[in-house]
Amino acid sequence: MELRQIKYFIEVAKREHVTEAADALHVAQSAVSRQIFNLEEELGVDLFIREGRTVRLTRIGKVFLEHMEKAMNVIDDARQEVIEYTDPKKGTIHIGFAASLASYILPTAIFYFRKQYPDVKFVLNQGTHSELLDWVKKGEINIALLGPLPQDQDKVKSTVLFTEDIVALLPSNHSLANRSSLKLIELRDESFVMFPKGFILHDVIMEGCLQRGFQPKISFEGKDLDAIKGLVSAGLGVTLIPEVTLVDCLPRATVKVPITEPSLKRSVGAIIPAERELLPTEKLFYQFIKDFFMRLEVYQN
């Protein structure tokens, strides 16, 4: 089994088309077909079902793909580690992040890190809470920033970077807009703008409201944080939102109001693999963000 065969196999499996895979690999279609045939001959099984010009994985092909993707991640990590050991200060960091950390937390951490290590490069991957967990477990990335931190995950290690409040974002003409604080129950009759099911902030809001004896009336759902803020700004509902997402500025025609009963908070932190070592440059960044947010919390307190 050759590394080239594995690369060709993964590309064909991903595209389900030999010609398209060959174009992406910049090789002849016949070369791809031959290597796939040789691989199947060596393994003694059919990895693909041929359907005209397209192909799809057999059941055993899907199993083989899962293992080969993990193997290629290990090989890529090994190659990158060899490069970085010559100079960890010039490596590349693949990092995942949640949407709520995109506008302030992640850019701020990277900005100050690159003041110390200006030659380090970053590849950024935004994902949902479950996607970030899955990527770290599978080895597609080794560091992810998210909130709240997952509990009881055996394949990842979690580090809390800071804890923040969940606040209410209201239209500025709302009857509660002039309040210095409010109780969550006071929003029971409001129309909510929220992330859809599958997003962790949806679950946080739902849980908080249900604990106070009501289910929020959802008027709009959206996967984009700025769109949610915009709908509130347009007076189409209220939302509960991590305070850090409002650090730079409030959307026009909105106000943020702290919630005192209950006090809604979330932990924000980093997850890394429990069973794999970080690459040298990743270790630099991981230690940096732990120290950076510890100093920031001390300063704020």
The domain locations on the chain are: 3-75, 82-161+267-300, 164-266
Residue position matching structure tokens 């477990």? 137
Query: Does 48 have pLDDT greater than 50?
Result: yes
The answer to whether the beta carbons of residues 127 and 200 sit under 8 Å apart is no
Q: Which of 218, 166, 230 is nearest to 194 (CA)?
A: 218
Q: What is the spatial distance between Cα 163 and Cα 269, in angstroms, rounded to a whole number?
A: 9
What is the distance between the alpha carbons of residues 290 and 270, in angstroms, rounded to a whole number? 9
Predicted TM-score (pTM) above 0.75: no
82 band by pLDDT with thresholds 50, 70 and 90:
confident
What confidence tens digit (pLDDT) does each residue in 167-219 have? 999 999 999 999 999 999 999 999 999 988 888 888 888 888 988 889 999 99
Q: Can you tell me the mean pLDDT for 108-124?
A: 93
pLDDT digits (tens, 9 = 90+) for 246-260: 877 788 999 999 998
What CATH topology corresponds to 164-266? D-Maltodextrin-Binding Protein; domain 2 (3.40.190)
Mean pLDDT on 31-45 = 89
Helix 3-15 × helix 18-25 angle, to 10°: 130
Do domains 3-75 and 164-266 share one topology? The answer is: no
| pLDDT higher than threshold 80 for residue 298 | no
- Residue keyed to tokens 């929220």: 194
Question: What's the pLDDT band for 297 if we cut at 50, 70, 90?
Answer: low
The CATH number assigned to the domain with range 3-75 reads: 1.10.10.10
CATH 3.40.50.1000 fits 82-161+267-300, yes or no: no
| pLDDT number for residue 285 | 96
